[in-house]
Amino acid sequence: DAKTTQPPSMDCAEGRAANLPCNHSTISGNEYVYWYRQIHSQGPQYIIHGLKNNETNEMASLIITEDRKSSTLILPHATLRDTAVYYCIVRVVGLIQGAQKLVFGQGTRLTINP
């Protein structure tokens, strides 16, 4: 799986949009971008994933650059409960050998300030 690079920490004011960047310059054409988050001492929680088009769900939006070498997770109106470690992961999807694996990096520790 391609390696990702994320800033170790970020701050954001409550009510503002939180934009979390991720670089994945070695991503392959068949690799998806996944985002998970981990709120203190809980198990990681799936947020969103995408291949090349921008995606939106009830939790967040995912913007992937045209060359797919980077992406941004957007939490449109951050709340204190969004304080967590956010992980960006790239992986293939399907029944290819090893495709099921999720390999976590160090992530970005996002702190939402009142």
Chain positions contacting another protein, by CB under 8 A? 34, 36, 41-47, 49, 87, 91, 93-95, 97-107
To another protein, the closest distance from the beta carbon of 87 in angstroms equals 8
Report yes or no: 88 and 70 within 8 Å, Cβ to Cβ: no
Distance from C-alpha of 54 to C-alpha of 71, rounded to nearest angstrom:
9
Tokens of 62: 């995912």
Residue among 14 and 55 whose Cβ is closer to another protein: 55
- Smallest gap from residue 42 Cβ to another protein (A): 6
- Least distance to another protein from the beta carbon of 43, Å? 3
Comparing CB distances to another protein, the nearer of 18 and 85 is 85
Inter-CA distances, 55 with 49, 73, 106, Å: 7, 10, 24
Q: Which is nearer to another protein, 80 or 96 (CB)?
A: 96
DSSP state, residue 5: B
- 58/66 with CB nearer another protein: 58
How many beta carbons lie within 10 A of that of residue 41, not counting itself? 5
